[in-house]
């Protein structure tokens, strides 16, 4: 058994994969993407894409990981040499996206830290209710340096966990935080559902109005599928190397996708009843929808300040977990490329690079507020370019690499479960989706979004 495999039990394998998938993408990003795209119809489209394109690529990434224990950069290099084609560009693209996503993700994690500290102040404050009601995004929106500082604190803590090799200890803490987050989540949903807005929310979320979809909906739904399942960057390739050989990877992929989808829908049920109570609709499309609505929910709950603190603490731990996955992949690739430098040095250099990049998302609302393209702010453009265009393109690269690296026999052998009778039929469907359906949809999504931009 490899060194890596020995330290993780089966439970930790799942914790890694599910932990990397479930994060700010589900709880912070999903509600506003759904709000922006009109609710029910978009939600259906999203679920359909998650279980076709998303799941098929997730399984491909896990299988790639098991077949070689390589990082994506190494795999693409290998395939380039074999096929004598410049496939290594896919590897480079994935690294580039990885760095930028980590920078962007750190800034949002900084927002979580801000709320965490606000609720700590709320606990000790004399007039607790008045204090919680006043918690909002204003301070963050008006100060790029506050966003930058919080994001730096987040990144440095992640760097510390990675460099000091205390990931295992962090995983243990995270494993304990998860049940707390789950219980809190359920309590909050129940409370949220006792509000007057429930029937409107149910109609908005579960009664699909297809006229709300437009040319860019496909790309947005697909982009979010990639983001929330952590696809397109070889993260799941790394986790694939951790799974034991008797684990049936298609089932792993299915479970991860299911859990991730359930968590995302729970986030909608928590956020929208509150958002619907407000007079204006601007919240729905605002990236701050989670942060604007939650304090208004906690005010309505006894010991709300304490629950608020717990919620943001668990959310932040989830963000740390996802960030560590991104950081680890970067450092592993960095060390692969430059053999001579130590792990600490490569951690240091990676963190410095990400810190510099973070300037852009952190100051997007202040220093860079004049930079607007296509009627969107700097941050929105960055988000869209990364998630709706580059991640799916990188996913396409993974499909190409997958078919070049493994031949028919190897693919079958790694997919089919020795005991499962249905695997054979499932295998054929999976290959069809991976080879034809996904590339066509990715191409179409990018094309339609592009057309929509210039309409």
Q: Which of 24, 55, 249, 330 binds ligand TRP (CB under 6 A)?
A: 24
Which residue is closest to ligand TRP by CB? Answer: 25
Q: How far apart are the first and last CA of the chain?
A: 56
Alpha-carbon torsion (241, 244, 249, 254), positive or negative: negative
We find the least distance from the C-beta atom of residue 183 to ligand TRP, in angstroms, to be: 20
228 lies in the binding site for ligand TRP (CB under 6 A): yes
Cβ proximity to ligand TRP: between 228 and 364 the closer is 228
Give whichever of 12 and 133 is closer to ligand TRP, judged by the CB atom.
12
The least distance separating ligand TRP from the CB of residue 57, rounded to whole angstroms, comes to 12
Our CB check for ligand TRP shows the closer of 132 and 267 to be: 267
Q: Does 233 bind ligand TRP (CB under 6 A)?
A: yes
For the CB of residue 334, give the shortest distance to ligand TRP in the complex, in Å: 17
CB 321 within 8 A of CB 173: no
Comparing CB distances to ligand TRP, the nearer of 12 and 345 is: 12
3-state secondary structure 335-389: HHHCCCCCHHHHHHHHHHHHHHHHHHHHCCCCCCCCCCECCECHHHHHHHHHHHH
- Site size toward ligand TRP, by CB under 6 A: 15
Residues 446, 388: Cα–Cα separation, whole Å = 8
Considering the complex, state which of residue 132 and residue 231 has its C-beta at the smaller distance from ligand TRP: 231
C-beta of 327: minimal distance to ligand TRP in Å?
A: 10
Tell the smallest beta-carbon distance from residue 223 to ligand TRP (Å). Answer: 10
Tell which positions 319-348 bind ligand TRP, by CB under 6 A.
322, 325-326
Decide if residue 26 touches ligand TRP (CB under 6 A): yes
Q: Which of 33, 101, 324, 362 binds ligand TRP (CB under 6 A)?
A: 101
The distance of closest approach from Cβ of residue 48 to ligand TRP in the complex, given in angstroms and rounded to an integer, is: 19
Burial 32-59 (b: 16+ CB within 10 A, else e): bbbbbbbbbbbbebbbebbbbbbbbbbb
**Closer to ligand TRP at the Cβ: 62 or 299?**
62
Angle, vertex CA 96, rays to CA 95 and CA 101, nearest 5: 95
Judged by CB under 6 A, the stretch of 83-91, 126-134, 186-194, 228-236 that binds ligand TRP is 228-236
Q: What are phi and psi of 92, to 5 degrees?
A: -65, -40
**Residue 73 sits in the site that holds ligand TRP (CB under 6 A):** no
Phi, psi of 376 (to 5 degrees): -125, 155
Closer to ligand TRP at the Cβ: 304 or 361? 361
Q: Which of 15, 19, 23, 379 binds ligand TRP (CB under 6 A)?
A: 23
Q: Which is nearer to ligand TRP, 299 or 396 (CB)?
A: 396
Contact 172, 19 (CB under 8 A): no
Among 453, 398, 376, which residue's Cα sits nearest to residue 71? Answer: 398
- Binding window for ligand TRP (CB under 6 A); candidates: 20-28, 129-137, 157-165, 211-219: 20-28
* Residue 20 binding ligand TRP, by CB under 6 A: yes
CA dihedral 91, 435, 442, 397 (to 10 degrees): 10
Give the alpha-carbon dihedral of 42, 48, 52, 54, to 10 degrees. 40
Q: Least separation, in Å, of the C-beta of 345 and ligand TRP?
A: 24
Nearer to ligand TRP, 140 or 387 (CB): 387
325 vs 365, beta carbon nearer ligand TRP:
325
Under 8 Å CB-to-CB from 377, ≥6 apart: which residues? Answer: 364, 365, 369, 371
- Per CB under 6 A, the segment of 19-27, 35-43, 106-114, 293-301 that binds ligand TRP is 19-27
Cβ-proximal residues to 200 (8 Å cutoff; 6+ apart), any chain: 276
71: left (phi over 0), alpha (psi -120 to 50) or beta: beta
Q: Report the C-alpha gap between 159 and 347 in whole angstroms.
A: 7
DSSP-derived 3-state class of residue 78 = helix
- Looking at the Cβ atoms of 33 and 63, the one nearer to ligand TRP is 33
227 binds ligand TRP (CB under 6 A): yes
C-alpha distance from residue 398 to each of 59, 64, 323, 433, 435 (Å): 11, 9, 21, 14, 11
Q: Which residues bind ligand TRP (CB under 6 A)?
A: 20-21, 23-26, 101, 227-228, 230, 233, 235, 322, 325-326
């Amino acid at each position: 058994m490899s060194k890596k495999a020995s330290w993780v039990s089966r439970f930790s394998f799942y914790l890694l994969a599910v932990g990397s998938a479930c994060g700010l993408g589900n709880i912070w990003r999903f509600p506003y993407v759904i709000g922006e795209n009109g609710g029910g119809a978009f939600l259906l489209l999203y679920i359909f894409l998650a279980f076709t394109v998303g799941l098929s690529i997730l399984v491909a990434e896990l299988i790639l990981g098991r077949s070689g224990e390589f990082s994506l950069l190494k795999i693409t290099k290998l395939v380039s040499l074999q096929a004598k084609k410049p496939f290594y560009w896919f590897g480079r693209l994935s690294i580039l996206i990885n760095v930028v996503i980590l920078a962007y993700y750190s800034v949002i994690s900084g927002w979580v830290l801000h709320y965490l500290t606000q609720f700590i102040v709320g606990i000790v404050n004399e007039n607790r209710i008045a204090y919680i009601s006043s918690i909002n995004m204003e301070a963050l929106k008006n100060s790029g340096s506050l966003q930058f500082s919080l994001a730096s604190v987040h990144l440095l803590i992640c760097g510390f966990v990675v460099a000091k090799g205390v990931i295992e200890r962090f995983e243990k803490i995270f494993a304990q935080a998860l049940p707390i987050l789950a219980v809190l989540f359920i309590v909050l949903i129940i409370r949220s559902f006792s509000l007057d807005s429930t029937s409107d929310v149910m109609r908005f979320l579960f009664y699909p109005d297809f006229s709300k979809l437009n040319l860019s909906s496909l790309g947005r739904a697909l982009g979010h599928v990639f983001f929330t399942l952590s696809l397109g960057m070889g993260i799941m390739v790394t986790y694939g190397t951790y799974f034991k050989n008797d684990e049936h990877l298609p089932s792993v992929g299915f479970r991860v996708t299911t859990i991730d989808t359930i968590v995302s829908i729970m986030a909608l049920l928590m956020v929208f009843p509150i958002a619907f109570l407000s007079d204006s609709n601007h919240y729905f499309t605002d990236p701050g929808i989670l942060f604007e609505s939650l304090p208004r929910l906690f005010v309505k709950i006894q010991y709300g300040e304490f629950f608020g603190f717990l919620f943001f603490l668990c959310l932040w731990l989830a963000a740390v977990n996802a960030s560590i996955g991104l950081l680890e992949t970067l450092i592993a690739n960095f060390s692969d490329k430059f053999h001579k430098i130590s792990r600490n040095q490569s951690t240091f250099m990676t963190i410095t690079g990400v810190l510099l990049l973070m300037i852009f998302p952190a100051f997007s609302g202040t220093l860079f507020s004049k930079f607007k393209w296509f009627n969107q702010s700097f941050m929105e453009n960055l988000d869209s370019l990364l998630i709706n265009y580059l991640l799916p393109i990188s996913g396409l690269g993974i499909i190409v690499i997958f078919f070049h690296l493994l031949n028919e026999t190897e693919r079958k052998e790694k997919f089919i479960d020795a005991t499962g009778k249905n695997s054979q039929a499932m295998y054929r469907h999976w290959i069809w989706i991976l080879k034809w359906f996904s590339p066509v949809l990715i191409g179409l999504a990018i094309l339609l979004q592009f057309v929509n931009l210039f309409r």
